[in-house]
Amino acid sequence: MHEDGNGDGRGVESDVAASGVDQPAFLALERELTVLLRRARANQGEMAREVHPDLESAAYGLLVRLDECGSQRATELAAYIGVGKATMSRQLRALEELGLVAREPDPADGRAWLVALTQEGHDRVTRVRAARRARYAGRLEDWDSREVAELARLLNQLNRGMEK
């Protein structure tokens, strides 16, 4: 039996059983999220290659973030993606070399830099995201629009809960 780290002698298995996560609903949730995440990782690689053949899969999320939120500091991007400074610096350097992002001085702090999409980066990301949404629309064409909206709402609620 594994210790739960609290030193009370109860194992992780007893905590899981006691909390009810072995219910069919949680088992189904785990299974479906596993399939969804596996497919999402594969799709992210495809999307990255559509933006640029040399783009790393992980960097696609950075481009989308910059497209949605505008210029950001590298530290903000690293925190959002969940990587360290060195990894973020490497990814940003690669994106700069591909001509997809550029650094500009932060007007609020002359010592800091902001990262922004170049026009080329914006155009490529916009095109790929539109194609992605078209694929979703095609795959969900037999869904009612209210069901699609409800799925988006529930996924948003799940994502907010995962941030805690």
| Residue-level pLDDT, tens digit, the chain, 164 residues | 333 444 444 444 445 555 677 788 989 999 999 999 999 888 888 999 999 999 988 899 999 999 999 999 999 999 988 899 999 999 999 999 999 999 999 998 888 899 999 999 999 999 999 999 999 999 999 999 999 999 999 999 998 888 77
DSSP H/E element including 158: helix 145-162
Rounded distance between C-alpha atoms, residue 158 and residue 164, angstroms: 10
End-to-end CA distance of the chain: 28
Beta bridge partners of 117: 101
DSSP letter at 105 equals E
Entry pTM: 0.75
Rounded distance between C-alpha atoms, residue 139 and residue 3, angstroms: 45
- The pLDDT value recorded for residue 17 is 53
- The pLDDT value recorded for residue 93 is 95
Q: Please answer whether residues 92 and 101 qualify as being in contact, where contact means their C-beta atoms are separated by less than 8 angstroms.
A: yes
Alpha carbons within 13 angstroms on the beta-carbon side of residue 65 total: 18
- The pLDDT value recorded for residue 128 is 95
Give me the DSSP letters along 31-59: HHHHHHHHHHHHHHHHHHHHH-TT--HHH
With CA atoms as reference, report the closest residue to 123 among 100, 140, 144: 100
Q: Kindly state the tokens that stand for 141.
A: 């064409």
Beta bridge partners of 148: none
Q: How far is CA 24 from the centre of its chain?
A: 28
